[in-house]
């Protein structure tokens, strides 16, 4: 006897989704082959994390919101454990919203045990019908895993670096980056003698529709790590680089945006490690083995020069 392939609510009881909504959770179903399936249609119009995240004028889903989509989907399956973070995240292909038109994203999540933890293996894909064909082309854009634990993580502290005598201004930072107001997360950045630090900008416009619910991963704090690492890389190599891989993202405290938050970035092997600290040195999140892929076009001297001199200071 064949099993029913799809369940209209993903096998979740009535009321199970109460309080579990988020900005990238849409229609929920389930398949015996694919696990939980979440389909969400996003429209750049009225969606700040798309409208303010454009490459050559085309809205592109931020990698940090792709990671957020994995966590929001996985939490539907594991609502009663601690969210430890993500691991082995690969940004395989950018999700572009051509002609500013809405697109439907599909996130799948399958949970497996790993010792006493539960791990949800996730994919984010989308379909697009190319000119001259009637058959949609499906692309897997992001993959990664979400880890849940039985116990809360142990608190961590670190040293908050003092601002250097010379720091990059937002005007200098966003001469490099393409981000609009909601994703201009760097208020200042400076070299630390072997890495870089970036101060989180306050007073930012909303990154998503607040009515959709809160985010779970502090995506704009992760973005602060990405952008601060990118500034160090731009100063050293003369190129702008895009996210390629995240080894681990540990969520160690409540990832609430606020005053006096600093990302501390350290080059490590072929990538970077990063910690976001509050004013007391409490670690909110820790990123390890973050790797990038450089764009081929070198930066112009007027963009690179202030970044290079600041990161060398």
Distances (CA, A) of 186 to 176, 198, 246: 12, 6, 20
Q: What is the CATH number of domain 6-149?
A: 3.10.129.10
Q: What is the pLDDT of residue 34?
A: 67
Backbone torsions φ then ψ of 82, nearest 5 degrees: -75, 135
Q: What is the pLDDT of residue 13?
A: 40
Q: What is the pLDDT of residue 135?
A: 81
Angle between helices 219-237 and 63-77 (to 10 degrees): 150
Owner of token pair 């897997």: 140
Q: What is the CATH number of domain 170-311?
A: 3.10.129.120
Can you tell me the distance from the alpha carbon of 46 to that of 133, in angstroms, rounded to the nearest whole number?
Answer: 30
Q: What is the pLDDT of residue 12?
A: 44
Can you tell me the distance from the alpha carbon of 110 to that of 77, in angstroms, rounded to the nearest whole number?
Answer: 9
pTM of the model: 0.92
Q: Are 60 and 95 in contact (CB under 8 A)?
A: yes
Q: What is the pLDDT of residue 88?
A: 98
Which among 101, 100, 36, 38 has a CA at the least distance from the CA of 69? Answer: 38
Residue spans in the chain of domains classed CATH 3.10.129.120: 170-311
Can you tell me the distance from the alpha carbon of 62 to that of 54, in angstroms, rounded to the nearest whole number?
Answer: 9
What does pLDDT average to in each consecutive run of 10 residues of the chain (313 residues)?
Answer: 36 44 87 80 96 96 98 96 98 96 96 97 92 85 98 96 94 96 98 96 94 93 98 96 98 94 97 97 98 96 96 83
Give the DSSP letter of residue 231: H
Give 262-313 as a DSSP string: EEEEEEETTEEEEEEE-TT-BEEEEEEEEEEEEEEEEPPHHHHHHHHHHHT-
Q: What is the pLDDT of residue 31?
A: 60
Residue spans in the chain of domains classed CATH 3.10.129.10: 6-149
Q: What is the pLDDT of residue 11?
A: 40
Q: Are 213 and 23 in contact (CB under 8 A)?
A: yes
């Amino acid at each position: 006897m064949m099993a029913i392939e799809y369940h209209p609510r993903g096998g979740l009881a009535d009321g199970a989704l109460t309080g579990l909504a988020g900005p990238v959770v849409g229609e929920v179903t389930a398949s015996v082959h694919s696990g939980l399936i979440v389909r969400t249609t996003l429209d750049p119009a009225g969606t700040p994390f798309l409208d303010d995240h454009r490459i050559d004028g085309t809205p592109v889903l931020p990698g940090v919101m792709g990671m957020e989509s994995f966590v929001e989907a996985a939490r539907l399956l594991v609502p009663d454990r601690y969210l430890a973070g993500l691991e082995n995240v690969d940004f395989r292909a950018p999700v572009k919203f051509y002609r500013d038109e809405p697109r439907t994203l599909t996130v799948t999540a399958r949970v497996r045990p790993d010792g006493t933890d539960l791990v949800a293996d996730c994919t984010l894909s989308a379909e697009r019908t190319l000119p001259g064909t009637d058959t949609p082309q499906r692309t897997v854009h992001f993959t990664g895993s979400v880890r849940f634990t039985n116990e809360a993580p142990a608190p961590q502290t670190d040293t908050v670096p003092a601002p250097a005598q010379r720091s990059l201004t937002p005007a200098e930072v966003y001469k490099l980056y393409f981000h609009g107001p909601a994703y201009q997360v760097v208020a200042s950045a400076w070299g630390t003698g072997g890495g870089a630090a970036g101060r989180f900008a306050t007073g930012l416009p909303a990154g998503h529709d607040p009515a959709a619910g809160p985010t779970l991963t502090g995506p704009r704090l992760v973005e602060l790590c990405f952008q601060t690492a990118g500034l160090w890389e731009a100063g050293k190599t003369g190129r702008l680089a895009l996210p390629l891989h995240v080894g681990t993202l540990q969520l160690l405290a409540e990832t609430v945006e606020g005053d006096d938050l600093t990302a501390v970035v350290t080059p490590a092997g072929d990538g970077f490690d990063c910690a976001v600290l509050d004013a007391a040195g409490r670690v909110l999140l820790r990123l390890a083995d973050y790797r990038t892929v450089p764009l081929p076009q070198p930066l112009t001297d007027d963009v690179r020069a202030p970044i290079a001199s600041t990161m060398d200071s």
